[in-house]
Amino acid sequence: MPDAFTQAIRIHRFGGPEVLQWEEIPLPPPAPGEVTIRQTAVGLNFIDTYHRSGLYPLTLPAVIGTEAAGVVEALGAGASGVAVGDRVAYTGLPPGAYAAHRNWPADRLVKLPDGITADIAASVMLKGLTAWYLLRRSYRVQAGETLLLYAAAGGTGTLLSQWAAALGARVIGVVGTAAKAALAREHGCAATVLAGDPDFVKTVREISGGGVAVVYDSVGRDTFFQSLDCLRRHGTLVSFGNASGPVEPFSPMELAKRGSLHLTRPSIFDFIATRADLEAGTGELFDMIGRGAVRIAIGQRYPLRDVARAHQDLEARRTTGATILEP
């Protein structure tokens, strides 16, 4: 019998938000190399809905969640680099962040500098490192380039657009509503396009003067070909999400006939797989935040036990900026 327990959101089957259950689960002592974290802020991410629905399958039952911040409470044998009482944060797999306490490898933790609160860390470990690798690794955005970004008023979008603007790029943000357009403009977008614009491609090609250098498309199935149509010759589509469902199979000839395009379908976890990459990414990210070049827009908060409501709002496009779940 484990001698300790914690509260967590666990799923026993894949499905809608109704499968998210608030439960007491065992909390074993930290294994060698691990620490126990008392989590004070958990991040909400679209990937959590893919884990919940089974689009990205997990072994069940499973606690989901991929991003959190808190305080180190206990060290397992050989865990180094952090001490009890340190403020820390992480993102990564396997999921399990929707919990009051969690055991996690010490060498996958980041210590939080002064000025990076738990709420900020739980907003940027996954979403901000995504903005970092999308702009700095997947496709290296250059000053003067124009890019198209979907969900520009969202958690990842508000970070990426500010960072891109700070690099000297011109961001055209795609948004669902006029209210979101205002928020996107406050966070680095030079122009916005409504997702439902019947002349979407024409509008983007006009604003960009003949097509954008790169499209960051997190919507997936519904926007894939429209995104290719917005690119200039030799442009790059970075397809990095499935908010509308996964992209269907297609012929590579579609890239040739639109101007010898490039396509990549990246995942954050390949860009922070090594300790060196994790430190490079968080170093640049915390520096951007510290200099005020990237501000964190926390749009809403929910008690962790009410995360089903948060999933409903996220999937119904009702959230803006980042969402904090309070354990």
Q: Given the rule CB under 6 A, which residues bind ligand NAP?
A: 45-47, 126-127, 130, 151, 153-157, 175-176, 180, 195, 218-219, 240-244, 266-268, 314-315, 317, 319
Shortest Cβ 140–ligand NAP spacing (Å): 16
Shortest Cβ 60–ligand NAP spacing (Å): 21
Find the length of the chain.
327
Shortest Cβ 157–ligand NAP spacing (Å): 5
Tell me whether residue 189 or residue 195 sits nearer to ligand NAP (CB atom): 195
Tell me whether residue 47 or residue 68 sits nearer to ligand NAP (CB atom): 47
Tell me whether residue 35 or residue 195 sits nearer to ligand NAP (CB atom): 195
Residues 6+ apart with CB under 8 A from 290: 113, 115, 116
Tell me whether residue 180 or residue 232 sits nearer to ligand NAP (CB atom): 180
Residues 6+ apart with CB under 8 A from 42: 65, 67, 68, 97, 98, 99, 122, 304, 324, 325, 326, 327
Shortest Cβ 142–ligand NAP spacing (Å): 21
Q: State how far the alpha carbon of 126 is from the alpha carbons of 48, 79, 90, 169, in Å.
A: 11, 23, 8, 22
Tell me whether residue 211 or residue 220 sits nearer to ligand NAP (CB atom): 220
Distance CA 27, CA 105 (A): 15
Distance CA 61, CA 47 (A): 17
Pairing between β-strand 191-194 and β-strand 262-264 as defined by DSSP bridges:
unpaired
Shortest Cβ 268–ligand NAP spacing (Å): 3
What is the rounded radius of gyration, in angstroms, for the C-alpha atoms of the chain?
A: 20
